[in-house]
Amino acid sequence: MTTEAGTQTRKTEPPAAQGLSAEKVTLSYGSSPVVSDVSLDLPHGGLTVIVGPNGCGKSTLLKSFARVLKPERGHITLDGTDIRTLRGKEFARRVALLPQSPLAPEGITVRGLVGRGRHPHHTLLRQWSPDDDRAITLALDRAGMTELAEAQAGALSGGQRQRAWIAMVLAQDTGLILLDEPTTFLDIAHQYDLLELCAELNREGRTIVAVLHDLNQAARFASHLVVMDEGRIVAEGPPHQVLTAELVSEVFHLASDIVPDPRTGTPMVIPHERRPHERGAAVG
């Protein structure tokens, strides 16, 4: 790949994948627990997708992995070290988060936004360098945002803005990437572009953890599927073992058939027709 100036962009080796674990974690907003006594080992080098009904605690759990929310009880470790003991920049060099509906500073360009992903790599002794420029150029390219690099982030469409944030996460160049409903605002083609990019990053050695709503997308791309309901993990493992008609009925209140995806062989949910009295009965 070359830049607009025609210079060759060097593709750096991906950082080492990280191991993230939660042990008996309880998370609350006020006095109401949202996640209760959850233990979870995220596979090192895996592509984990967390699914579940609205309000089940999946995004809350992801926030705790990113240190956005502190556990009321229990603890979370990264390669055996409690994440609360790590310095902010050290943690940010190892773990990146794309939250739901992030807000860009007013007047910032796409390139400027993506460049913020490089801040964890800067110290008093190491300021901006050619490595930062290369990381930004590569991130813009992989997110499909090169042509919009000088555009104002605030003037972008919802889908373009989401891809700009994804580029910022890529520029951060971490071994572990957390994505909270990353396909939000993206049309169907760009949803699959993003998920294919996640799979590619995973094959390069990064650990990916994503919260998704679409069960078929989750089953197609996940190496490890985690199903949550009412603040607890009710099933986890390879999608072909986890995603059953019984589970979809119990957790999502949806009668369905589970058949092999004709393209990938992964489980695919085929919902049954819903009778009038069943509509609106599902959680969320």
Domain-wise residue ranges, the chain: 20-278
pLDDT at 129: 84
| Strand pairing class (81-82; 47-51) | unpaired
pLDDT at 82: 95
pLDDT at 5: 42
As given in the structure block, the two tokens for residue 200 are 């590619």
CA separation for the pair 143, 111 (Å, rounded)? 12
What is the architecture, at CATH level 2, of domain 20-278?
A: 3-Layer(aba) Sandwich (3.40)
Report which of 52, 49, 59, 100 is spatially closest to residue 221, judged by C-alpha positions: 49
pLDDT at 19: 82
Neighbouring CB atoms inside 10 A of 8's CB total 9
pLDDT at 16: 57
pLDDT at 101: 83
pLDDT at 204: 93
pLDDT at 78: 94
pLDDT averaged over 10-residue windows placed end to end, the chain, 284 residues: 41 62 94 92 95 96 96 94 94 94 90 95 79 95 95 92 94 96 91 94 95 97 97 97 97 97 97 76 47
Strand, coil or helix: 123: coil
- pTM here is 0.88
**Cβ neighbours of residue 273 closer than 8 Å, sequence gap 6 or more:** none
pLDDT at 271: 96
Neighbouring CB atoms inside 10 A of 106's CB total 8
